[in-house]
Amino acid sequence: MDLLTSLRISSSGLAANKKRMEAISSNIANAQTTRTAEGGPYRKKEVAFGSEPARESFADILEGEIDANAKTVHATEVISTNTPPILKYEPSHPDADERGYVAYPNINVMVEMANMIAASRSYEANITAMNTTKQMALKALEIGR
């Protein structure tokens, strides 16, 4: 695998984890949102990841077995979950139903924070891989001196 393929794989991981962190941030920010433009409480968002071969040209396809197994990751879609809302009895709330219950999003902020930490660690790992690749390229250039 050449250095550019390694950088392309790491950058795809950065982009995918950025999208994941955006969705998690939206979930945390809207954990108490009871009214949306679509109607009803905010619906939790999750990011689905997919992979594809890390090849861009015909020459890349003709390379060896190691490159055939290299994959890039991408966020395929952002999905709004269909988890039922949490009902809380608050008869004085403006969004309360006729029984006095308010529908809140089914979002556990602690779980979202744990997911944010995991996404952040994955992002950091991709940055480390990119920096290592960059250092390898610089060392390879020093050999020619």
pLDDT tens track for 11-31 = 999 999 999 999 999 999 999
Contact (CB, 8 A) for 105 and 86: yes
Q: Which of 114, 44, 111 is nearest to 84 (CA)?
A: 44
Q: Are strands 71-80 and 86-89 parallel, antiparallel or unpaired?
A: unpaired
Domain segments of the chain as ranges: 3-143
Alpha carbon 121 to its chain's center: 12
63 vs 118: which has the higher pLDDT: 118
Angle of helix 3-29 relative to helix 109-143, nearest 10 degrees? 160
Query: What are the pLDDT digits (tens) for 61-100?
Result: 555 545 556 788 888 889 988 899 999 999 999 999 999 9
Rounded Cα distance between 20 and 6, Å, is 21
**pLDDT mean across residues, the chain:** 87
Q: What is the pTM of this model?
A: 0.80
